[in-house]
Structure 1
Amino acid sequence: MKYLLVLAVVLIAFYIWRNNRLTDRSEAAPKAPSRKPDTPAIMVACLQCGTHLPDSEAVRGRDGAYCSIEHQRLHEGNAG
């Protein structure tokens, strides 16, 4: 009788441990994003080095887009 009681306690403890572990795993699962992804950015190439960068980050010059002010200065200084 004593062994049945110990077995029942062990089984109940195992059941509680397993359910808690499954609950923790489901809470840790990544949730699906609730918003739509951003629209793709328009990419432009630097006229000096050819590096592609988003249009919103480009430096505008007389001739077009550059990746930095230094490249704008170099390219427009050589062109003019």
Structure 2
Amino acid sequence: MARILLLLGLLVLALFWAFGRRRDGTGQAPGGRDPVAPSSGPQPMVGCAHCGLHLPQAEAVQDGEGRWFCSEDHRARGGRV
């Protein structure tokens, strides 16, 4: 009886291991990002001129006067309220 339970446990572990790995052989979990992958480096941060939220410059919206905003809606509303 103990042998059957041991074999069943090993089978369950092997199935978890097999289906928990990526199909391309990288060993990463499917659909997830590698948490230790190096980023492209530090990005400049800017503050929204309307609400003050800080966000990466690449995600911000700039108006004609050089002010940065977190969204098109805040750009349309203008500076601080």
TM-score (norm 2): 0.53
RMSD value over aligned CA atoms?
3.2
Match of 1:55 among 51, 54, 57: 57
Point out 4+ residue stretches in structure 1 off by more than 6 angstroms: none
Compare the two structures and name the one with the higher helix fraction: 1
Gaps spanning 5+ residues in structure 1: where? 1-9
The answer for the alignment partner of 1:3 in structure 2 is: none
Aligned-partner residue type, residue 39 of structure 2: D
What amino acid sits opposite 2:17 in the alignment?
S
- Following superposition of structure 1 onto structure 2, how do residues 3-14 of structure 1 map, counting pairs within 5 Å? 10-14=1-5
What number of residue pairs does the alignment pair up? Answer: 67
Larger Rg: 1
The offset of 1:29, in angstroms, is: 7.0
Alpha-carbon shift at residue 58 of structure 1 (Å): 1.0
Gaps of 5+ in 2: 29-33
